Chain A
Amino acid sequence: MTGTSPAVVAASRLGLTFQTNDGPVQALSNVDLTIGKGEFVSFIGPSGCGKTTLLRVIADLEKPTSGTISVNGMTPEQAREKRAYGYVFQAAALFPWRTIERNVGLPLEIMGLSKAEQAERIKRTLDLVNLSGFEKKYPWQLSGGMQQRASIARALAFDADLLLMDEPFGALDEIVRDHLNEQLLELWGRTNKTICFVTHSIPEAVYLSTRIVVMSPRPGRVSDIIESTLPKERPLDIRETPEFLAIAARVRDGLRAGHSYDD
């Protein structure tokens, strides 16, 4: 926690219960969490632990049923209306009928920015994710990794200080994923954004994060929060160091502890 700077996300005794045909399901229960400005926080846990639900609550895509949550000191709804965050989904979710530049420009069109401002931001964000030269291509002409980079560019074009990413690299192969992880860290270092990152990969979480939130299912809750001791500069081979492996082991223990009553 950064302490002095105001919290970007602050949740207190947050709970969300879905009403399903099989009765109520507690997707989130008693979540207490504060995320400071400039942090890179990963949420990790088995499926059903509520990590995506928590991200969706921050984004005002789900409404909590108990507790409180604030984003930039506002309710999530107000924050969304102020366009306080960019959201990256599991799939690239590009519109197939729009070229890459027009996909990146979509949120800017909706915000009503001038054409010149749009063009400038599109160019800048496509540069940022190394997609310059692909402006006129349609999504199907790009590989999966490039499509996901375009969707990150789209979230960045917003220029919001908070980036919410829901397993953005989950569907990509290991090599592409390593590459994108590296690029994401570099981007985070350059832009000083706050990033909330959902993943189910331990190495990915440890490699990227300043803090790792370990979650467990039934009911979905935070079972451990691990501060990373890794330096901000992280080459890929930091993953072989004892320090890295120690953190990974702690995460694994946390996941196992959350699972102990299961099976």
Chain B
Amino acid sequence: MDSFRDKLIPVTSILAGVVVLWYVFAVILNAPFQRDLDRRANETPALSEFIGKTLSQPKPTLPAPHQVAVNFFENTFLRPINSNRSLVYNAWVTLSSTLLGFAFGTALGIIIAVGIVHVATLDRSLMPWIIASQTIPILAVAPMIIVVLAAIGITGLIPKAMISTYLSFFPVTVGMVKGLRSPEIMHLDLMHTYNASGAQTFWKLRVPASVPFLFTSMKVAVAASLVGAIVGELPTGAVAGIGAKLLAGAYYSQSIDIWSALVAGSVVAALLVMVVGIAGRIVDRAMGGRPA
């Protein structure tokens, strides 16, 4: 309980600071347009009225927090879930390709890591390419993946999931290579004295030793997966998904929609990371982990 309070107070005070700053900047950034409107309407509002107007524009440069909150609430809870405007629906579209890509990425990452740890040539030949793959801007690669896959008749969920896979396999590979190599020399010597086979050493020592590394890297990977899914929705002309909402908002200058889609994306990311974290803790407990 104390640790909860120790965390809650600093986090909420930072949040309050951000909200105050946000309001200040909303007023400053929306003021020029509001002044323009007032001049054309020949109005000279008092300062408090002017500030009120800057915070309630329909298409503000920077929407005020309460505008985003209202929009988020309406689009999350007040719309039917199958509506195209529902954030739940759009979040679900993005989430499904995130999860598919994350599953692929984790599996791929583990397979590559096992290869790298067990085959010396792969270690030398593959690792530089894997690192290079992450230096390529995903925004440049994403449209090509979509176009190439569409040319061979693959559209819809899979191309988006591939982009998630592309982003999420990397942290898993790096984490698992480290994890599979984490057993102490003494443990490896011990297995050697038992004349254990390579497979026995792998399953009884390397795999269990790598589990904490797996979950740490999966936390990073799941967040990267979500970014991949959103980026994947931008060039596809997707009609639904958080990425599609962001793009549509940008086309029609619906800044409030953009921001609430952004909030929805953050909520999904936070939930995903939390779920992976909880799963990690459950597995750790099942493996005799010392309670923190």
* Chain A residues engaging chain B, CB cutoff 8 angstroms: 59-61, 80-81, 83, 85-87, 89-91, 93, 95-99, 106-107, 109-111, 138-140
Contacts and interface: CB of A to CB of B under 8 A. Distances in A.
Contacts of B200: 110
In this complex, which of B184, B194, B289 has the most chain A Cβ atoms within 10 angstroms of its Cβ?
B194
Contact of A140 (B191, B194, B211, B290): B290
Contacts of B184: 93
A135 to B, nearest CB: 13
Nearest to B284: A97
In this complex, which of B186, B191, B195 has the most chain A Cβ atoms within 10 angstroms of its Cβ?
B195
B204 A61 contact: no
Category for how many chain B residues contact A: 20 to 34
Interface string B151-188: 00000000000000000000000000000000010110
B287 interface: yes
Nearest to A138: B288
A55 to B, nearest CB: 11
Given A97-B208, A99-B288, A140-B290, A85 B186 contact: no
Given A93-B184, A138-B288, A140-B290, A106 B204 contact: yes
B194 A106 contact: yes
B189 interface: yes
A109 B199 CA distance: 13
Given A98-B288, A110-B200, A110-B204, A93 B186 contact: yes
Contacts of B195: 80-81, 83, 110
A95 B194 contact: no
A83 B194 contact: yes
B125 interface: no
A115 to B, nearest CB: 16
B214 to A, nearest CB: 13
Interface in B179-227: 184, 186-187, 189-196, 200, 204-205, 208, 211
24 contacts: A60-B192, A60-B193, A61-B193, A80-B193, A81-B195, A83-B194, A87-B190, A87-B193, A89-B186, A89-B189, A89-B190, A95-B204, A97-B208, A97-B211, A97-B287, A97-B288, A97-B289, A99-B288, A106-B204, A109-B204, A110-B191, A111-B194, A138-B288, A140-B290
Interface of B: 184, 186-187, 189-196, 200, 204-205, 208, 211, 287-290
A138 B184 CA distance: 18
Nearest to A109: B204
Contacts of A140: 288, 290
A151 B191 CA distance: 13
B194 A96 contact: no
A85 B290 CA distance: 32
A86 B288 CA distance: 26
A91 B290 CA distance: 19
Given A97-B287, A111-B194, A139-B288, 16 more contacts: A59-B193, A60-B192, A83-B194, A85-B193, A90-B186, A91-B186, A93-B184, A95-B204, A97-B208, A97-B211, A97-B289, A99-B288, A107-B194, A109-B204, A110-B200, A140-B288
B196 A96 contact: no
A93 B190 contact: yes
A140 B288 CA distance: 9
Nearest to B186: A93
A83 B193 CA distance: 7
A99 B290 CA distance: 12
A61 B189 CA distance: 7
B189 A110 contact: no
A109 B194 CA distance: 10
B192 A61 contact: yes
Nearest to B196: A110
Contact of A110 (B194, B208, B287, B290): B194
Closest 3 CB pairs of A and B: A138-B288, A97-B287, A87-B193
B189 A96 contact: no
A153 to B, nearest CB: 14
Contacts of B191: 110
Nearest to A80: B195
Nearest to B192: A61
Contacts of A89: 186, 189-190
A96 B186 contact: no
A93 B191 CA distance: 11
